[in-house]
Amino acid sequence: MKNRLKVLRAERNWSQADLAGRLEVSRQSVNAIETGKYDPSLPLAFRISKLFGLPIEAIFEP
């Protein structure tokens, strides 16, 4: 699944570690999601959506 996580993170000048801290996951998890190697669960997708203030479909696309 593709996503805009890396772009959204870069727009805010956040490192992967920064984003990981805000989402309460590991940096490795953020990297796995950004690179499309792991699809987040719905609860985590909602956390990401809430953090960036965007609907889920604006961040993730099938």
Partner 1 sequence: MTSIKRNLSGATYMVSAAILAMIGWAVIKGLLFFGHPLPATMVMAVVAGGWIIASLVLHGRLDEVGRSTERFAWYWGGGGATALMLIWLVIYALAGAPFLDHVLQGRWTPLDLIALGALGLAAAQVMGFALVGVGWWLVRR
Which residues contribute to the site for partner 1 (CB under 8 A)? 23-26, 28-29, 31-33, 37-38, 40-41, 43-44, 46-47
> Between residues 4 and 45, which has the closer beta carbon with respect to partner 1?
45
Q: How far apart are the first and last CA of the chain?
A: 5
Q: Rounded to the nearest whole angstrom, what is the least distance from the CB of residue 31 to partner 1 in the complex?
A: 7
Q: Residue 1 gets which letter from DSSP?
A: -
For the four alpha carbons of 25, 52, 9 and 57, in that order, the dihedral sign comes to positive
Q: Decide whether 23 or 56 has the Cβ nearer to partner 1.
A: 23
